[in-house]
A and B are shown apart, each in its own frame.
Chain A
Amino acid sequence: MSNQDPDPQPDDATLAERVVHAAPGIDREAEAELCRRFAPRVRLYGLRHMRNDAAANDLMQQVMLMVIERLRAGALRESGKLVSFVFGICRMVVLDLQRGHARRERLLETYGDILAPPETPLPNLDEKRLAHCLEGLPERERTVLLLTFYDDTPADALAHDLNLSPANVRVIRHRGLERLRKCVTGETR
């Protein structure tokens, strides 16, 4: 057949190439799919670095807008390096946001109406099940996990508070997380 169907699941690099090659036109489908794939990951990066939902959403939006802007401008020379390209922009935008840079407004004026990525909240866990699973953990594991996650407390700090060694906290944390994960997800092995 001479008319092949387009790849139903093109990889990230292929999508990036489509955006680059469409310029000065716009491949909206490829741009939207790239945003759909990368936006949740970029938001996670933002949550990790900013520890704030609103700031993570700002970062996600700004990064995706810059990625698309730069792809359209042909700034990505090797499509296989798309992830490094996105990573570099993430790092730059975190620094910009931390410096209070106001580039976002200009980008949103230019691209916001067509490319604003969707809100991507974290998946909701069943809190009743989570409570039940936490109740079932050995006390030491439960305490370490609750104290770890409530304030994102690293092992060194928790070890100091509980008079344990950091290695001991990591072992307790590892066991507790395994048990909790299997219980919450219903995984049996």
Chain B
Amino acid sequence: MNNTASCPSPLDWDTLLAYWLCELDIDSEAAVEEHYLGCTQCSQRLEWLAALAQGVRNLIKISGVNMVITDAFVRNLKARGLHVREYRVPLNGSVNCTVTPEDDFVLGRLEAPLDEVKRLDLVYLDDEGKDQMRLDDIPFNADSGSVVFSTRIEALRALPACTLRVRLLAVDNHDSRILGDYAFNHTPHNPQ
């Protein structure tokens, strides 16, 4: 195949991603490899996916992101030797919390009755109880009985002493009901 020619039958993004994630059977995997090894366009696409994966890892590792996570993800963070600080908050409860220089991740685990919940929204509230930021339709595993989320660690480190309020809402069609309210009583780290 000519190095400069555009590909007459480019591999689609889903196939490339499935290949990268080891989801293809052996024959399909070999066909993808033999294709991109001879194809500038498709190898560049695959290169972009690999760079995206690296970029996501860097982003999560360096500054963290606001995201809902799974227990498997938490286990993998710890297995990589990262320092994970986790605060479990009971239903309608509160917890005293901080973030230290050694922490790589700070997680909140919100206990909630998730059985029969169809859609779940996570809302950050201000001091007056108004919506500050809303994460719509977050993924969750009802069997776990909790929702785990991480907050950008840089943002946490910049916080003064304050109370962060979070609410879980069960949404069904156009109705929503409060599943639980949670309070994080944050204090900046004081090494003394």
Q: Give chain A's interface residues, CB within 8 Å of chain B.
A: 9, 11-12, 37-38, 40-42, 44-45, 47-48, 82-84, 86-87, 90, 122-125, 127, 130-131, 134-135, 138-140, 142-158, 161-164, 170, 173-174, 177-178, 180-181, 184
**Would A148 and B21 be within 8 Å (CB), given that A41-B43, A134-B65, A140-B137 are in contact?**
yes
Count residues of B near A (Cβ-Cβ below 8 Å).
Answer: 54
**Would A40 and B47 be within 8 Å (CB), given that A152-B21, A163-B141 are in contact?**
yes
A12 contacts B140, C-beta separation under 8 Å: no
CA distance A37 to B71 in the complex (A): 42
Q: Whole-angstrom distance from the CB of B110 to the nearest CB of chain A?
A: 15
B70 contacts A162, C-beta separation under 8 Å: yes
Chain A residues whose C-beta falls within 8 Å of the C-beta of B58 in the assembled complex: 127
Contact residues of B: prevailing secondary structure: helix
Of all chain B residues, which has the CB nearest A157?
B72
Chain A residues whose C-beta falls within 8 Å of the C-beta of B89 in the assembled complex: none
Stretch from B12-20, B93-101, B165-173 that touches the partner: B12-20
CA distance A139 to B147 in the complex (A): 14
**Would A11 and B72 be within 8 Å (CB), given that A44-B46, A127-B55, A142-B67 are in contact?**
no
A149 contacts B14, C-beta separation under 8 Å: no
Stretch from B31-39, B124-132, B180-188 that touches the partner: B31-39
- CB of B178 closer than 8 Å to a CB of A: no
Contact residues of A: prevailing secondary structure: helix
Q: Mark B36-72, 1 if CB is under 8 A from A, else 0.
A: 1110100100111011111111111001010111111
Chain A residues whose C-beta falls within 8 Å of the C-beta of B71 in the assembled complex: 161
A152 contacts B47, C-beta separation under 8 Å: no
Of B1, B58, B70, B138, most buried by chain A (CB within 10 Å of CB) is B70
Pick from A12, A138, A150: contact of B38, CB under 8 Å? A12
**Would A146 and B56 be within 8 Å (CB), given that A47-B50, A123-B47, A134-B65 are in contact?**
yes
A87 contacts B13, C-beta separation under 8 Å: no
**Would A139 and B68 be within 8 Å (CB), given that A48-B20, A124-B51, A151-B76 are in contact?**
yes
CA distance A9 to B69 in the complex (A): 49
CA distance A181 to B43 in the complex (A): 16
- CB of B136 closer than 8 Å to a CB of A: yes
